[in-house]
Structure 1
Amino acid sequence: MVIAIGFEGSANKLGIGIVKDGEVLSNCRRTYITPPGEGFLPKETAIHHRQNVLKVLREAIDKSGIKVSDIDVVCYTKGPGMGAPLATVAIVARTVAQIWNKPLLGVNHCIGHIEMGRLITGAKNPIVLYVSGGNTQVIAYSKKDTAYSLSNDPSPGYNIEQLAKKGEKYVSLPYCVKGMDVSFSGILSYMEEKIESLLREGYTEADLCYSLQETVFAMLVETTERALAHCESTEVLIVGGVGCNERLQAMMHQMCLERDAKLFATDERFCIDNGVMIAHAGAEMFNSGTKMKWEDCFITQRYRTDDVETTWRED
């Protein structure tokens, strides 16, 4: 039996969660929300995390029903992500690990999403579409290698999704897929340049959100379908903050039906960045014998998914 606590702070979500042998004991989170039309910057995001991390830590421990002495390993997001927020949360994780005299493990953020998705859905060896605001990948396991002025509350992606449900007229947008590579650059710029003329032509903001979703999601479904065929897989798992989008799940489900494959997805509790995914992935690492020296417990903004040796998987 392993009890792990996980600290996540790679972007604007601050999360701390505790797991016990795959059972979620607590999953606490705070989100740094900026004014409409504005993104979040590293310095301000780090300040938010610093101001809230001890409150979230106390909440996570209280909700879990365990004592600090019960914790076996402290886990934190090592990367990828924004430098200042990563460092802020990692310092807290490193400090409590020393105070509590617990081992410390740095976890790859992307691996955390994947392993949380596999745990919650029961997917065995899926093609993974990891899709979020800052990091989108199509991933397959291989022998242990692996701007509208919309409100930012609770998140821009969620608000786009809700508005897109009301859209009816499709606007043709740039669509760039080359093999397994997709490029989203230019799509928002195109819409910003055309928005006044489109509105005059009778298109609504809902239509524009609808068109944006349909175009981007079609690109993601196409590349995922290509990976599914190449790897001869029968499972697709969607993870990442955008992974809880209902339209994306519906489009991917239709593709899977046509290929006799099965789709796995979760809701916002586990798709959106959270501490539980870091705790669970860290627990898997800890169970498989992974250890880290204190001098190796740093952060790195560029931590590739395929830099992680998945020692806990045997399939």
Structure 2
Amino acid sequence: MLQLNIINETAPLKAVVLGTAVSNGPTPALEDAYDPKSAEHIKAGTYPVEADMVAEMEAVAAVFKKYNIEVYRPKLIEDYNQIFTRDIAFVIEDKFIKANILPDRDEEIEAINHVIEQIDPEKVLTLPEDAHVEGGDVMPYKNYILVGTYKGKDYKNFITARTNMKGVEALQELFPHREVVSFSLRKSNTEPRDNALHLDCCFQPVGKDKAIIYKDGFLIEEEYNWLVNLFGRENIFEITREEMYNMNSNIFSISEEVVISEKNFTRLNAWLRAQGITVEEVPYAEISKQEGLLRCTTLPLIRE
């Protein structure tokens, strides 16, 4: 049996599900794009090709191997995007929570049944149907569960709004001993530079007490200020609109001392190293064209 344990974003990683780009299928039609960044690249003829994305994901798999982390991969579905495992489920403490994601993506969770079967069935939870949550919006930190959401009445008009307040409330019920804090994120179906698809697109804790943040990803300034106060201004790396667009906040922590980051994030990677953090650089620029990066493609199961 897998003894799940995820209490935060940075404890030493022991087991993870890493997505796969194999048999990813043809470039989608524009009307089938789930986010504005994918749409932008479909229009421009620069949508990533399978071979490049496979190579990028294998570079991450190699880093995990180097650190002796147990890696699970989804079973292959022909011509299907199975890159972003963070969307389909997430672990908090010893609970495996299936996300209520876009209905077109139901098959993705079935492709990791070989992992779910190794978990105590009582610990595998499905939220109520009207409670929408995707893993990219959920971050356990200290006594908190930090959750990105969108509270607007026009929620259903945004394919980019993935976690609703019912989802936030469902998490509070599941984890009454933790404080669930929600953040309203800026959404756009058309301009990726103004769209925080998930919380990890504009914020992420890193190291012992540091955080990466993009102020304009937050609709409500007080909520952004709450995070700044939680970490302390001196512990925060503020990213620019263009860095947010390139997914600088979406790196992935192997531990407090080691992160995997994109090799082109020169400013961020220099800052991380200045904090005493080892940066394992990988190429991930092609994957980022689908508005997701390292955190999006990983589903951590066990951290120490």
Say whether the fold is shared (TM-score over 0.5): no
Under a length normalisation based on structure 2, what TM-score does the superposition of the two structures give? 0.34
As a proportion of its length, which structure holds more helix? 1
Q: Which structure's CA Rg is the greater one?
A: 1
